[in-house]
Chain A
Amino acid sequence: MDPVSSRLLVLLVVVLAVVLVGGVWRAREHRRGRQAFAPPASDPRRRPLVPPTETAPVGLDGLGRTATLVVVGTRSCSDCARTLALLRREVQDGEDVLVHHVLAEQAPGLVDRFEVRTAPTVLLADAAGDVIGVHPGPVDADVARQALVELSAGRVPFGAPAAGTARAAVVDR
């Protein structure tokens, strides 16, 4: 094979690798985004976003009348910013549903309580500020809307978690 043909073959292989890896990666992300919220990790009981003994992290400025979504992210996480923008655009609803952004490094208590291991992780809290759902990774707007519908219909927390299931879901991502 002459040098030009071999170089073109290299280019073809790289292009195919990009298409294959990129396609698989995006499909995986799409599947992750479509997964429903899981109950809070390791403890099926409701948990407050901010316990009375703690200071609210910067960015957690209030609760929505019916629900609050908290995007726990990091400063350099573009998926976090994208998820935040998506949820604010598609899901935030006046003062009924609020969407906040909290930096993980500024909220160690929150990170520890809900075993946040992925940026972003989206927390869903009810009107009282108790977290009823955790979604590791970027969440699809439809999934968030569906969770809010279930919250309004009183169908939360989202079923009784199998022991350790939610914990594994958070840690494995």
Chain B
Amino acid sequence: MTAPRGPAPGGLAPGDASPGSRPAGAIDPRGPRFAAGMTSLVLAAVVVTGSWWLLALQALLFATTVALGPGRGPWGLLFRRVVRPRLARPTWWEDPAAPRFAQLVGLLVVGTGLLLVAVGVPGAAVGSAAVALFAAGLNAAFGICLGCAAYRVLLRLRTHPAAA
């Protein structure tokens, strides 16, 4: 087949994300943003209270979402069952791989904080929660997912090592 000519038959590329077509496994992009908002609330509570067990709860939420995927994590389920039915159909769909990686990054950040708390480092819970809150807040308020950006950079480096 050479250069395409004539009208398109309307086929969709893998990973395509147009209105009305939901690629297999794709998620509503508003779900991760909702999750980021809820995560921000928990992390803000950790920053204000300095509570290590709240931080541990957040680590558990991150771990569950990493294991089950953004669509099936606790906040993902809440979004699907309670929030999404009240919203219009999304205009595009998102691949869950990047948001899932972002949750893993969050888990690493708060996990490190918990480890430091365990060895008695003062302010570790607040410090790690503040770092995670910055990222979650950016996602919730502006739709900027730092973990997703890191995922894409890693993917590009893996595909084109010369780009490093």
Q: Are B133 and A103 in contact (CB under 8 A)?
A: no
Tell me, rounded to whole Å, the shortest Cβ–Cβ distance linking B135 to chain A: 9
A154 within 8 A of B: no
Q: How distant is the Cα of A153 from the Cα of B5 in the complex, in angstroms?
A: 22
B120 within 8 A of A: no
Partner-A contacts on B (CB < 8 A): 1-19, 29, 44, 47-50, 91-95, 97-98, 126, 130, 133-134, 137-138, 141-142, 144-145, 148, 151-152, 155, 159
Q: How distant is the Cα of A11 from the Cα of B126 in the complex, in angstroms?
A: 9
Tell me, rounded to whole Å, the shortest Cβ–Cβ distance linking B99 to chain A: 9
A-B pair number, CB within 8 angstroms: 157
B interface SS class: loop
Chain B residue numbers with a CB within 8 Å of A86 are 91
Residue of A nearest to B16 (CB): A101
Chain A residue numbers with a CB within 8 Å of B16 are 59, 84, 101
Q: Are A81 and B13 in contact (CB under 8 A)?
A: no
Complex A-B: 21 CB contacts under 8 Å: A3-B50, A10-B126, A11-B133, A13-B130, A17-B134, A19-B141, A22-B137, A22-B138, A22-B144, A25-B144, A26-B144, A55-B1, A60-B4, A62-B8, A76-B148, A78-B94, A82-B92, A84-B16, A84-B92, A100-B8, A105-B159
Tell me, rounded to whole Å, the shortest Cβ–Cβ distance linking B97 to chain A: 5
